[in-house]
Amino acid sequence: MEHAPRPRISRRTVLRRALRASAMAALAAPLAACGLIEDDPTDGGLSILGTATPTPSPTPETPVPTDSPDASVTGTPVAPQPPEVTLDPPDVGQGETAILRVKQEGAASGSARMLGQRIPLLATGDGLLWCVVGAGLLEPLGPATATIDTRDDAGRALSEVELPFNVVVVDRPVDYLTASPEVTAVLTPEAAEIEAALRTYEQFNLFQALPRWNGELRIPVDKFIQTTAFGQGRSINGGPVTGQHSGVDLAADAGTPIHAAAAGRVAWTGAMPIRGNSVLLDHGAGVVTGYHHLLEIDVTPGQIVDAGDVIAKMGSTGFSTGPHLHWEMTIYGVNVDPMTWTKRAFLPE
């Protein structure tokens, strides 16, 4: 099983994030929903894969001996064709996903540096390299650049090109709600610190390399009311808008079966102070889905599940005001809107 380890993030950064998350989360508490908020993806964690996938040393070009008989016949060696690079969609919304495709004859591997990350490219075997990438909810708006390097099957550098794109705003309505002191009592600094450490050191520290999804994702609950969308800002009791919802809340009766959104490997199960009982599925290529506030967990770490398999039952554990599923999606730890993945397939071709 191939794995790509994840980034080094200092404990100081985790603590800083935890304290900030706590301060922000303490102001958020929807009805039959939760106030889980997005970490600041621009802070600290953006060297994702930076330590795991070191920058390849440029391979010095092999000089062609001028007195070689071959050289006199073939002349100057042919430079590799530049890659054909596309980003889909061409501009990336905050909290949204894009797929990067790189087509180049002879390309066998590579990486893309963009949105503060260095992401390994996957090869389909016919000269097409690709990856999915997420823009954080707090990713700065405006012009950005992707730098893509490619290598041949011997690991020799083929090319490095840049692709300009824009990070664009996505209209996400504000969630106005009233919260009681009891609801927010769960949100202590200690709880936020434990939660952040679990995510950093246990849940997002290892990723399967190869993707397991093969189309659009399945919404994990069959009949539900969506109580809060992804990325919605929160205004509590008429106060200022603080934090953005890190997933989508799907409410139904306690005990409602929860299905795997796509095939994957159970990466983590257990209790989190704020997200409650949780299951995380690793779908490969950096893509992880999280299922939270569960009443019951029906899978064990390491288990392989198919799309649609029942993995848990809906509950209201952790910071929650009623039975619902808080469903998250992350790409190399960056939260993106999972509902986007239920409407289109992020596949290389």
Residues that bind Zn ion (CB under 5 A): 34, 36, 249, 326
Minimum CB distance to Zn ion, residue 191 (Å): 15
- Write down the least CB distance from residue 33 to Zn ion, Å: 5
DSSP state letters, 77-127? PPPPPPPEEEEESSSEETT-EEEEEEE-TT--EEEEEETTEEEEPEE-SSS
**Closer of 17 and 245 to Zn ion (Cβ):** 245
When the beta carbons of 30 and 116 are compared against Zn ion, the nearer one is 30
Q: What is the C-alpha separation between 325 and 312, in angstroms, rounded?
A: 10
Angle between helices 189-198 and 11-25 (to 10 degrees): 130
Residue nearest to Zn ion (CB): 326
Cα pseudo-dihedral 183, 185, 190, 194, rounded to 10? -20
CA distances from 220 to 192, 197, 298 (A): 26, 26, 14
Nearer to Zn ion, 116 or 231 (CB): 231
Query: Shortest distance, CB of residue 292 to Zn ion, whole angstroms?
Result: 7
- Between 35 and 134, whose beta carbon lies closer to Zn ion? 35
Alpha-carbon distance 9 to 32, whole Å? 33
Which of 14, 251 has the CB closer to Zn ion?
A: 251
Minimum CB–partner distance for residue 249 and Zn ion (Å): 4
DSSP string, 131-190: EEEE--TTPPPEEEEEEEEEE-TT--EEEEEEEEEEEE------EEE---HHHHTT--HH
CB of 13 to Zn ion, least distance (A): 24
Q: Looking at beta carbons only, is 100 or 187 nearer to Zn ion?
A: 187
What is the closest distance, in whole angstroms, from the C-beta atom of residue 25 to Zn ion in the complex?
11
Tokens encoding 44:
């600290």
- Residue 325's closest CA among 274, 249, 264, 270? 249
